[in-house]
Amino acid sequence: MSTEDGLLVEVADPQRADTFVRHDGRDTGEPVVLVHGNISSSSFWVDTLRALPAGLRGLAPDLRGFGHTEALPIDAARGVRDFVDDLHAALAALEISRCHLVGWSMGGGVAMQYLLDHPELVASLTLVNPVSPFGYGGTRGPDGALIAADGRGAGGGTVNPDFVRALAEGDTGEGPSSPRSVMRALYFAVPPAGVDEDALVASMLTTRVGDDFYPGDAVAADGWPSVAPGGRGVLNTMAPTHFDVSGIVAVDPKPPVLWVRGGRDLIVSDSAALDLAVLGSGGAIPGWPGEAEFPAQPMLAQTRAVMERYEAAGGSFTEVVLDECGHSPHVEDPAAFRRALFGFLAASSR
C-alpha cells in the first residue's frame, strides 16, 4: 500500500509487522519520528509533519494493530517491545538509524523503551503526555511500587466495555461511549476549533479490537477491583507487571529530553479519570478499599522522579506545561506545541 503521504514498509522478519509510515515527502534532513498513542494512528501527527522546519525529515508510523499497519497479535508479556521492534525494523528498512524520537501518550512509552533498547540511535527524546515510566494503573508513590504483585487495577479488563463495542462497530455518532464523545471528553480539554474531527474519529476507528489487540485479555484478581492484567493486547503492554522503562536513567549515551504536557490532561495525571482508584474513590466502582490500600497512581510525580534521576545521572530534561491543553497539545494548541518542539529539535540537532 502506498498513498500520497505514506508507504507500507515491508520487512523480511515474519515476526515483525509490515509498517505503514506516513511522511512529509522529504528525502533529506535529520529524521524526526513521531509515534502515536493508543486508540489513534499517525493521522494525529499529520499537521505536525507538514509544519516541520527545513533541515528535518518527518516520519510517523502506525503501530501494529492501528492505522494501516499489519495487524499482528501483540504479546503484552514483552511490554511494548513488539511495537519497538516493529519500529526498529521499519526504520532499518528505510535506512534510517539515528533519529529524533517523539512519542505521545502510549507512544511515549514506546519511545522510552526504544531509548532503553537503542540508546545510540536516539538523537533526542520528546515525550508528549507520556504514560508513566511504571505503566498505567496498579502502582503507588513516585517510585512506582506495585500495589499488588498481580498488578490488579491495570490492563485489558479496566476499560468500559461499551466503548470497546463502539470501536468494534465503527460508531461515528455522538453517544456517550462513542469514540467521538470519548475524544471530546478525554483527548481535549476543549474540542479545538478548525480540527477535522471526522478524520480523527476515523483514525480512532482503525484500532483493531480483541484479546490480541485492544483492549487485550484479563484475569480475575483476589481483591479489589477484581481484575488483573493478562498477557495479550494493548492495555496489558502498559500494565506494571509487564512495563517498566525507569531504566532509562542508566542509558548511555543520554540524549536530551523534552517533556511536554497539557495542564488539564485527564488521561495522564496524578488523579487520572481512567485510573480505577480514582473511579473507585468517586463511587463509580463499588468497594474501593480506601487511599491507604489502593491509592491513585501519581503518574506525573512518577515521570518527574525518573526525569530528575535521569538528570542527576548526567542527562538533561526540560518540562513544558501548556496550561489550557488536555491530553493532545499537538492538536489542541499546535502553535505553542510547535514552538516548544521545534526549538528543542533545533537545539538538539547537529
pLDDT in tens, 127-167: 999 999 999 999 999 999 999 999 999 999 999 999 999 99
**Rg, C-alpha atoms of the chain:** 19
Question: Model confidence over 166-224: pLDDT tens digits?
Answer: 999 999 999 999 999 999 999 999 999 999 999 999 999 999 999 999 999 999 999 99
Q: How confident is the model at residue 264 (pLDDT cuts 50, 70, 90)?
A: very high
The pLDDT assigned to 43 comes to 97
> Is-contact 102 33, C-beta < 8 A?
yes
Q: Where are the beta strands (DSSP E) in 168-283?
A: 209-210, 214-215, 218-220, 227-229, 257-262
Q: How confident is the model at residue 246 (pLDDT cuts 50, 70, 90)?
A: very high
The pLDDT assigned to 1 comes to 42
> Is-contact 153 138, C-beta < 8 A?
yes
Of all residues in the chain, the percent with pLDDT exceeding 70 is 99
Site of grid cell 528543542: 344
Q: Check whether 2 has a pLDDT greater than 70.
A: no
By CB neighbour count within 10 A (0-12 exposed, 13-18 middle, 19+ buried), where does 314 fall? exposed
Site of grid cell 489550557: 324
- Torsion-angle region of 301 (φ positive above 0: left; ψ -120 to 50: alpha; else: beta): alpha
Rounded to whole angstroms, how far apart are CA atoms 258 and 320? 8
Site of grid cell 513544558: 320
Rounded to whole angstroms, how far apart are CA atoms 216 and 82? 14
Q: Check whether 4 has a pLDDT greater than 70.
A: no
Question: Model confidence over 65-124: pLDDT tens digits?
Answer: 999 999 999 999 999 999 999 999 999 999 999 999 999 999 999 999 999 999 999 999
By CB neighbour count within 10 A (0-12 exposed, 13-18 middle, 19+ buried), where does 237 fall? buried
Q: Check whether 36 has a pLDDT greater than 90.
A: yes
Bridge partners of residue 34, in order along the sequence: 102
| Domains in the chain with CATH codes | 2-348 (3.40.50.1820)
Question: Which distant-in-sequence residues (6+ apart) come within 8 Å of 75 by Cβ?
Answer: 82, 231, 232
Rounded to whole angstroms, how far apart are CA atoms 185 and 166? 16
The pLDDT assigned to 3 comes to 55
> Please, what is the average pLDDT of the chain?
97
